[in-house]
Structure 1
Amino acid sequence: MTLPRRVRLVLLGAVAPLLAGFLALAASPALQGPSIDSLYWLRERLHGPRPAPDPSPVVVVGIDEETYRRPPFAGTPQALWGPRLGTVLGAILDGGAAAIGLDLVHPTSVETLIPGFERDYLLTLRRGGKEGRLVLAKVQHQSDPLMPYRGYMIAAGVNNVRSVNLVEDPDGVLRRVPLTLTVSGSDGQPKAEPGMAVEVASRALKAPLERAADGAVSLGGYRPPGGEGNRLLVNHATAPGAIPTYSLADLFACAEAGKADYFAKHFKGKAVMVGTVLDVEDRKLSSNRWVTKPEGLNLPDRCALPVMSDLYVAGRTRDSIPGVYIHAAAISNLMARDALSEVGKPAVAALVLLLAGLAALVTLAARPPLAAACLILLLAGWSGVAVEVFQAGLVLPYLQAALAAVLVFPLALGFRFAVLDRDQRRIRNAFKLYLPGSLIDDMIASGQSPSLGGEERDLSILFCDIAGFTKMSEGMEPEALVTVLNRYFTVMTDIIEAHGGFVDKYIGDAVLAVFGAPYAIDNHARAAVAAALAMRQAMADDPTLLATSSGRGSNRIGIATGPALIGNIGSPRRFNYTVMGDTVNLASRLEGANKYYNTALMVSGETVRHHGDPEAFRSLDIVQVVGRSEPVEVFEPLSDARRADPEDCAQRAAYAAALGHWRAGRFEAASSGFRALVAGDGAALAMLHKAEKRAGHPAEPDWAGVTALTDK
């Protein structure tokens, strides 16, 4: 038993989203990271760069290129920088910094070789650790961690060392910062220890890190959205220079100059991260990799030294950032309480299925082109919603839901093609060789079979015939002749349809085409003329068209514009969607008139008026065709190449002048004008013959320059 179409439609509307949603959810872990990165990019496009909190709760002291280039650091091994680093740290502590984190791991020291060399540095570490404002860094490896030099840890205090580990996502991008890490306690048992960012933020806020029974942590009443594994999803500020960065070289010179006010102004109450800010060292891919900014912009006021020239390449952006900025951004999120939060798995599944269901609805409710446009609008709307929610700090499954919606489209279309549209295809296949596709679409949409009837409409009719067909076909076998004609008709039909027309019928070696029906187009006369020029160009581009051993045929085209009757004409048992009327006859006569003027294209004056660009034609003559009492002015369409050719333009102007003499009855002047053009203009030769016959005779009183054509 075959299910009704409506029931099958409902089943498809349920099955396609479920299948697409299942596939999208299966890919969700791999898509979540790029989804977050995409939201950063979209947020930047819609809202511009995200600013940091004002004032920024965290700053960075950078060991940058300038530090390596300036004395006293330049030329000195970094292992000997301890006393100078201690000078800067001491000045920052004196300035009232709330907490300092060193994103540096120095496992060795020259103190073992030069006793007393780092005495002042060690005293500064002792002071910072004793006051609870200094945190040293370690790196947690597979087994034993990489620890600072033992003397540094003793000076600062072994409880003031925290891990600076950053855990990459499976695609190698750092998007999350561990809130806690599992380390071995003094008793050898595993325990949870705060990471560097949490420790610095905790000390800056003077709020201890608290751990709930479910393992989640809170800081000063703020429960960071740590997600799986207590990893904070960093919400980067993407404005240029969002995290104020100070050069270690400038701060050392500032401290040496005794400018304590500078340190108080810029560091009081701040969380400070000290780390490497270089072009090549310790750079990481992060979630803001697609919206990074040129470095060296919006730097804070300098203290003692100007920014070195040629330090930054203007406008240069990179997809990686120094790792210290990831820690600093996490500290800022913890202190400002604006970290990113991800929706839970049930919400992810619900949103994916919702978007897949909406995509199925628009796919099944409209024809494929309109459904595709609606799908694009749906995805644009989803992007807008996801970005606005992201702006508020919540991450939706952006790419997962978008993928589900995109997958629904081919799934639903495939089912429609295989099952739902079977009846429609049967109707289309039955009539496609006899009716235009647009009429079949109307018939299918209405659910009705075609019926007799017609209407009068303003149309442009194109009539194309093969010149030299008899000679071309001489001696050819019927099968070979049909092959040549079929290839020619295929090329011509494709051109006509590409320009919005449809082929009414083939009459022997002729083609009758209609522009402006069944559906109206913006300018049917312009479309018909463009098609005619393209048909002639196709003949020029492919010398094998209509080529046979007996010679090559060519085509002549006539176009007329005006009212015509179009519709289903015939008997109730057999009819055609066709066109008839005086405009059709005129197009046929104009095609034949080409041979009198040695032209290939000829259009009526009404076609020129509907076309709207008189410069695209040249006037040939005024003719009276067989079977029509009213004369009609005829024109030759011009290709773009002819319109742009200065020589051709001059010849057309000369032809127009001679034609003016002809119409005014000045036959000797007309003869002289046309005679000068006959070498390269077949129409001028035809007009010359007519002018010479009348030369020496005065024009009749009712002379209007009309040429009566006696043949069809």
Structure 2
Amino acid sequence: MKLPRRLRLVLLSAVAPVVAALLALAVSPSLQGPSIDSLYWLRELLHGPRPAPDPSPVVVVGIDEETYRRPPFAGTPQALWGPRLGTVLGAMLDGGAAAIGLDLVHPTSVETLIPGFERDYLLTLRRGGREGRLVLAKVQHQSAPLMPFRGYMIAAGATNVRSVNLVEDPDGVLRRVPVTLTVAGSNTGGPGTAGQAGQPRQEPGMAVEVASRALKAPLERLPDGGAALAGYRLPGGEGDRLLVNHATSAGAIPTYSLADLFACAEAGKSDYFARHFKGKAVMVGTVLDVEDRKLSSNRWVTKPEGVNLPERCALPVMSDLYVAGRTRDSIPGVYIHAAAISNLMNRDALAETNGTTAAALVLLLAGLAAVVTLATRPPVAAAWLVAVLAGWSGVAVELFQAGLVLPYLQAASAALLVFPLALGFRFAVLDRDQRRIRSAFKLYLPGSLIDDMIASGQSPSLGGEERDLSILFCDIAGFTKMSEGMEPEALVLVLNRYFTVMTDIIEAHGGFVDKYIGDAVLAVFGAPYAIDNHARAAVAAALAMRQAMADDPTLLATASGRGSNRIGIATGPALIGNIGSPRRFNYTVMGDTVNLASRLEGANKYYSTALMVSGETVLHHGDPEAFRALDTVQVVGRSEPVAVFEPLSDASRSDPEDHAQRAAYAAALDHWRAGRFDQAAAGFRSLVAVDSAALAMLHKAERRVGSAPEPDWAGVTALTDK
């Protein structure tokens, strides 16, 4: 059994979004990363760069190109930098730094070769470790971690070493930092550790550890498996990782050059360290142009480096370090740690929607796309789909601004996938019936009626209704003469071109061609759908049809002569609908108004006019100045007389001479209707040279000159020809 079209639409509206959503969710892991990156770009587009917290809770001490180029670091192997690094660390500790993380792993030391060379550095490490304000770095490998030099670990304390691993997403981009990592080895009793000797255990990652030290609060595991730091529940993430919410303004993380800080400490400017480092979390790491650079989630909105640097202490910024305006899609890894620390201390890390919510949102957007695709025509549906995606983008960006990541690209992909799926099904199944109906009836019914049948889901059936309409009947004058000696094929070509021009004009004015009768055209205005003023539309079409004949002398032109067209228009009630038998019928019009239009077309011959309309047409038209009265006639087959008028073109109405001639004709017509035949004849006689209708009226008036009108005289002309 064939399902009704409405039910099939409902089923498709349900099935297509589900299919698209399942496909989008299947590739969701691959889309989630680019989705986050896209939201960074859209947020920047709508809201501008995200500012850093003021003041920033975290700063970076960079081992930068300036450090490599300035004495005493320049020309000195990095293995010998320990004492100078220790000088800077000691100055920051003296200045009140809350916690310092070294994003550096030095597995060897010259202390084994030059005993006592790093004594002061080791003492600084010992001090920072004992105070719980210093964290050394290790790198966790699959087999064994890369650890700092054993002497550094002993000095700082084995509990003050944390992993600086940053795990890439499958596309090679760093978007998250580990909250905890699974490590092997004995439990040394450090903060956040648990387990027994030799067993794998969980310990915080570098960013979490530094933030914990700065906040003086340990990382807590909640009963539901979540984690909290100083009362801040960390947003859940994939694999116990924190999704970093980067500030994207230029110089968001204040960055100090190690070379300037060393010179500052050597100069004894302790007040500088107190102003810039007191209460801060500090990350020390490499910020070179080529070393340790990572692709991060803010890769499409990075800013030029070396901008908005903090106040210098002892040395001016070295020139030629940065290329003005240059941006790169990678950033030093130390900034990812620093951004995560800032998120933890400011409680503004990004949260991702859980799987159920994400799936519901993807399905919702796919459902909206299916509705707009199936409810409207494809071009309109495409515009609505763009609007839906724009609205979804706005919602996703605003929530991203507030710290919540929606499945942006997943839902958008599902919506875009629904569009071709639904259109394909609609074309192959739903619109097949529409195409069948349109193909079957397009040559017989007006397009508006076909659209109505398609919208209702019903095929046409017998029946009709009586409505007020304007009927236009157009015939070719001189058809016999122009067709003499023509081959049938040539005559058909001439007629087809003429009919095409006339039909286009009729349809452009809101009418439709009911039928072609030989060389005649029957057109209807006001059906199947009502228009504002069908009489005005019919008259305008008639004038345009005459103008087309004047503009194109090749229309109806043959070797035997050129034909012309005559038009009659009548307005009134008519029966219109599907008329015929159940197996064969036409959407057509019939009734007295149709017959009158045909008779008025023929009456043009008597008055040598080209256009003639009934008095009802003039009344419905609403502008009597657009016509001139011709006569009152009684046509063949109709007992009631009808006043007939000739429509006027805009050129005629604006021509003063033509206006004077029409006034003279109207005066003569008044004499005729009043039975003053002598005055009527005189009036018409004065116009015969310029008015063909006046000649016809003159012949009638001259036959009555000198006689009195009958008692029932009304000035009606009985026409004997059709």
Q: Same fold (TM over 0.5)?
A: yes
1:408 Cα offset (Å):
2.1
Could you tell me which residue of structure 1 aligns to residue 333 of structure 2? 323
Structure 2: unaligned runs, 5 residues or longer: 187-196, 471-485, 517-526, 532-570, 581-585, 590-596, 602-645, 652-689, 691-722
Which position in structure 2 is the counterpart of 1:88?
Answer: 88
| Partners of 2:303 and 2:354 in 1: CA distance | 32
Matched residue type, 2:249 = A
Equivalence map 1:449-488=2 (5 Å): none
Say yes or no: does 1:275 pair with 2:285.
yes
Q: Distance in 1 between matches of 2:113 and 2:57?
A: 39
Q: 1:442 to 1:571 in 2, by over 3 A?
A: closer
Instruction: Quote the residue 1:305 is aligned against.
Output: 315
Matching residue of 2:360: 350
Query: Which position in structure 1 is the counterpart of 2:203?
Result: 193
Correspondence 1:502-517 to 2 at 5 A: none
Distance 2:446 2:55 in 1: 69
* Offset of residue 347 of structure 1: 1.4
**Counterpart AA for 2:53:** P
When residues 111 and 503 of structure 1 are mapped into structure 2, their CA distance, relative to the original with a 3 A threshold, is farther
* 1:407 maps onto 2:402 in alignment: no
Counterpart residue type for residue 367 of structure 1: R
Deviation per residue, 1:384-404 (Å, 9 max, x gap): 222222222121212222222
- On the 8 A contact 1:282/1:322 being kept in 2, the answer is yes
SS where residue 14 of structure 1 aligns?
Answer: helix
**Partner in structure 1 of residue 379 of structure 2:** 369
Deviates more, 1:153-162 or 1:169-178: 153-162
Shift of 1:116: 2.5
SS in 2 for 1:246: strand
Provide the rounded CA distance (Å) in 2 between the counterparts of 1:21 and 1:424: 29
Residues 388-407 of structure 1: pairs in structure 2 closer than 5 A: 388-407=398-417
| 1:452–1:29 distance in 2 versus 1, CA, 3 Å | same
3-state SS of 1:240 partner: coil
Q: Which residues of 2 match residues 415-426 of structure 1 at below 5 A?
A: 415-426=425-436
Q: Structure 1 residue 246: deviation in Å? A: 0.9
Q: 1:684 maps to what in 2?
A: none
Contact 2:361–2:411 (CA under 8 A) maintained in structure 1: yes
SS in 2 for 1:421: helix
CA separation in 1, counterparts of 2:177 and 2:170? 14
Equivalence map 1:250-649=2 (5 Å)? 250-432=260-442, 440-441=450-451, 444-445=454-455, 574=586
> Matched residues in 1 for 2:88 and 2:103: separation?
15
2:118 maps to which residue? 118
Partner of residue 67, structure 1: 67
Deviations 1:272-327 (A, max 9, x none): 00011122111111111111111122211111222222322222221111100100
Contact 2:370 2:418 in 1 (8 A): yes
Question: Residues 74 and 442 of structure 1: is their aligned pair in 2 closer, same or farther, counting only changes over 3 Å?
Answer: farther
Note if contact 1:436-1:502 (Cα within 8 Å) is conserved in structure 2.
no
Cα distance between partner residues in 2 of 1:405 and 1:398: 11
Query: Take 2:71 and 2:11, find their aligned partners in 1: how far apart are those partners?
Result: 76
Range moving further from structure 2, 427-436 or 336-345: 427-436
CA distance in structure 2 between the partners assigned to 1:194 and 1:173 by the alignment: 22
Q: 1:122 to 1:436 in 2, by over 3 A?
A: farther
Report SS of the residue matched to 1:388.
helix
* Residue 19 (structure 1) aligns with: 19
Describe how 1:116-195 pairs up with structure 2 within 5 A.
116-186=116-186, 187-195=197-205
> Do 1:99 and 1:271's aligned partners in 2 also have CA atoms closer than 8 Å?
yes
Could you tell me which amino acid in structure 2 is paired with residue 102 of structure 1? Answer: L
Identity of aligned residues (%): 81
Instruction: Give, in angstroms, the shift of residue 118 of structure 1.
Output: 2.1
Q: CA deviation at 1:105?
A: 0.9
| Aligned CA distance change for structure 1 residues 191 and 572 (closer, same or farther; 3 Å) | same
Letter in 2 for 1:197: A
Quote the Cα distance in structure 2 between the aligned partners of 1:447 and 1:3.
12
Q: Aligned partners of 2:446 and 2:320: how far apart in 1?
A: 69
When residues 504 and 321 of structure 1 are mapped into structure 2, their CA distance, relative to the original with a 3 A threshold, is farther
The whole-number CA distance in structure 2 between the counterparts of 1:239 and 1:415 is 48
Match of 1:45 in 2: 45
Change (3 A) 1:452 1:164: same
Shift of 1:354: 2.0
Determine the structure 2 residue equivalent to 1:234.
244
Q: Distance in 1 between matches of 2:117 and 2:60?
A: 27
Report the more deviating stretch, 112-121 or 331-340.
Answer: 112-121
CA apart distance, 1:434: 6.2
2: CA distance, partners of 1:632 / 1:347: 68
State the distance in 2 between where 1:68 and 1:404 align.
51
| Alpha-carbon distance in structure 2 between the residues aligned to 1:256 and 1:433 | 97
CA displacement 1:554-588 (0-9 Å, x = unmatched)? xxxxxxxxxx9xxx9999565799xxx9xxx9xxx
Give the superposition deviation at 1:144. 0.9
Q: Distance in 2 between matches of 1:87 and 1:64?
A: 17
Deviates more, 1:412-421 or 1:97-106: 412-421
In the alignment, is the contact (CA less than 8 A) between 2:20 and 2:417 conserved in 1?
Answer: yes
Q: Give the letter for the 1:414 counterpart.
A: G
- After superposition, the C-alpha distances for 1:464-498 in whole angstroms (9 at most, x for unaligned) are xxxxxxxxxx9xx99xx99xxx9xxx9xx9xxx9x
Q: Is the 8 A contact 1:139 1:146 kept in 2?
A: yes
The aligned counterpart of 2:7 is 7
For residues 224 and 403 of structure 2, what CA distance do their matches in structure 1 show?
Answer: 23
1:31-61 per-position Cα deviation (integer Å, ceiling 9, x unaligned)? 1111111221222222222122221110001
One-letter amino acid matched to 1:78: Q
Are 2:5 and 2:457, in contact at CA under 8 Å, matched by a contact in 1? Answer: no
Distance in 2, matches of 1:10 and 1:570, equals 32
Q: Is there any run of 5+ residues in structure 1 with no aligned partner, and where?
A: 458-473, 508-516, 521-563, 586-628, 635-705, 707-712
In structure 2, the CA distance between the partners of 1:338 and 1:116, relative to structure 1 (3 Å rule), is same
1-structure distance, mates of 2:163, 2:445: 76
Change (3 A) 1:73 1:442: farther
1:210-244 per-residue CA deviation (whole Å, 9 max, x = no partner) reads 23455433222222124232111111111111111
Number of equivalences = 584
Contact 1:438 1:519 in 2 (8 A): no
Aligned with 2:232: secondary structure? coil
Q: 2: distance between equivalents of 1:571 and 1:54? A: 78
Contact 2:138-2:148 at 8 Å conserved across structures: yes
Query: Residue by residue, what CA displacement relative to the aligned partner does 1:512-566 show, whole Å, maximum 9, x if unpaired?
Result: xxxxx9999xxxxxxxxxxxxxxxxxxxxxxxxxxxxxxxxxxxxxxxxxxx9xx
Contact kept, 8 Å, 1:173 with 1:284, in 2: the verdict is yes
Contact 1:95 1:261 in 2 (8 A): yes
Aligned-partner residue type, residue 154 of structure 2: I
